[in-house]
Amino acid sequence: MQADPKQTHVAKQWKHESPLISCRFDPTGRFLFTTAEDFQIQRWDVESGEKIAFAAHDSWARGLAFLDGGETTVTGGYDGRLVWWPTSAEAPEPMRTIDAHDGWVRFAAVSPDGKLLATAGNDRLVKLWNPADGTLVRELSGHEKHVYSVYFHPGGEFLLSGDLAGDVRQWEVATGKLIRQFNAKALHTYNGGQRVDYGGVRAIALSPDGKHLACAGLHKATNPLGAVNEPLVVLFDWESQEVVRSHIAEGVKGVAWQALWHPDGTLIGASGGSGGGFLLFWKPDADKDFFRLKLPNTARDMDLHPDHLQVATVHHDRHVRISRMTAKVAG
């Protein structure tokens, strides 16, 4: 079955006891993992909605990544720790815990071959770990602000990291050498009146054809402290590093918390903020979205199911929502 973004609708939802923060499907698609403001991680059975709690972090968690084809889950928390878990255990207990960053772990990603785990933190560092034993392989320094996101190039040769200031760095994984930088400063604002830095590269993703690099976040931040801003995904030409598109959603206030590519070349964004929650759909030939789905509540993260038909979003109203990019089934 092919996805039809214009048919996207919320197919099911489950409610947690606390506002949710982030989400990821495991590689098999059986489970959806979410994190919440109650410091816990939740594993939801995608079919039944059955929920199992994972408790070990001493703060909010946001990083979610999977090892060994999904057998092991790694979570990264604002307590600076990484925790390894058995993904499908009935009563999950941590397999390993390490102090990974000085300050928050904001993002975690696993290399395509599964041999490296990358994390980004408030210590302005990107770190590469051996996921098999939790040892540090390499530390990548140079970011001048908090690092918000990391992303492995599908070829495995490069890692990309994006920070609060909109500085996106391309690193050579084998050596830790900085190859080049993408200028995504459109995603950053310094408001002199309020005296705050705001924005940041909240997600990074390369298009299936390898031609476009998407960096998600926000712009038009006329009032950072009051959440007055609009979602923006900056689209770079991978080779030339030129900005080829500024994907916007007219009339929508909020942040593009996530941007992912569907294999058919559609870029899917999830936004949340004062304008509510949206799933946004863009094609690389136009700045504006060709379709949007208004969600019942502000969205904070999103992931695409391995079947490429289901999209999960997590919300402040404590709900997980699974939207299907297919026509509604009657009855």
For position 297 contacting other proteins by CB under 8 A, the verdict is: yes
CB of 225 to other proteins, least distance (A): 4
CB of 99 to other proteins, least distance (A): 13
Percentage helix, strand, coil for the chain under 3-state DSSP, each rounded to 5? 5, 55, 40
Residue with smaller CB distance to other proteins, 54 or 104: 104
- Contact indicator for 233, 214 with CB cutoff of 8 Å: yes
CB neighbour list of residue 308: distance below 8 Å, 6 or more residues apart? 3, 262, 263, 264
CB neighbour list of residue 215: distance below 8 Å, 6 or more residues apart? 162, 166, 168, 182, 184, 187, 201, 203, 204, 233, 234, 236, 259
Residue with smaller CB distance to other proteins, 103 or 265: 103
In three-state secondary structure terms, 160 is: strand
Residue with smaller CB distance to other proteins, 173 or 320: 320
CA distance 289 to 286: 7
223: buried, middle or exposed (CB in 10 Å: 19+, 13-18, 0-12)?
A: middle
Q: How many other C-beta atoms lie within 10 A of the C-beta of residue 263?
A: 10
Q: Considering only residues 29 through 48, tell me which ones interact with other proteins, judged by CB under 8 A.
A: 37-39
CB of 34 to other proteins, least distance (A): 16
For position 97 contacting other proteins by CB under 8 A, the verdict is: no
Choose, by CB under 8 A, the member of 59, 88, 97, 326 that binds other proteins: 59
In three-state secondary structure terms, 180 is: strand
For position 191 contacting other proteins by CB under 8 A, the verdict is: yes
CB of 114 to other proteins, least distance (A): 29
- Contact indicator for 162, 170 with CB cutoff of 8 Å: no
For position 298 contacting other proteins by CB under 8 A, the verdict is: yes
DSSP conformation letters of 287-302:
SB-SEEEEESS-EEEE
SS (H, E, C) 64-128: EEEEHHHCEEEEEECCCEEEEEECCCCCCCCCEEEECCCCCEEEEEECCCCCCEEEEECCCCEEE
CA dihedral 252, 261, 181, 255 (to 10 degrees): 20
For position 194 contacting other proteins by CB under 8 A, the verdict is: yes
Q: Considering only residues 260 through 279, tell me which ones interact with other proteins, judged by CB under 8 A.
A: 272-274
CB of 111 to other proteins, least distance (A): 28
Contact letters for other proteins, residues 104-133 (x by CB under 8 A): x-----------------x-----------
Residue with smaller CB distance to other proteins, 97 or 223: 223
Residue with smaller CB distance to other proteins, 224 or 269: 224
CB of 246 to other proteins, least distance (A): 22
Q: How many other C-beta atoms lie within 10 A of the C-beta of residue 323?
A: 23
Choose, by CB under 8 A, the member of 26, 79, 123, 301 that binds other proteins: 79
Residue with smaller CB distance to other proteins, 195 or 328: 195
For position 223 contacting other proteins by CB under 8 A, the verdict is: yes
Residue with smaller CB distance to other proteins, 92 or 277: 277
Rg (CA), the chain: 18
For position 60 contacting other proteins by CB under 8 A, the verdict is: yes
Residue with smaller CB distance to other proteins, 88 or 223: 223
CB of 108 to other proteins, least distance (A): 16
Chain residues in the site for other proteins (CB under 8 A): 18-19, 37-39, 58-60, 78-79, 104, 122, 191-198, 223-228, 272-274, 297-298, 316-317
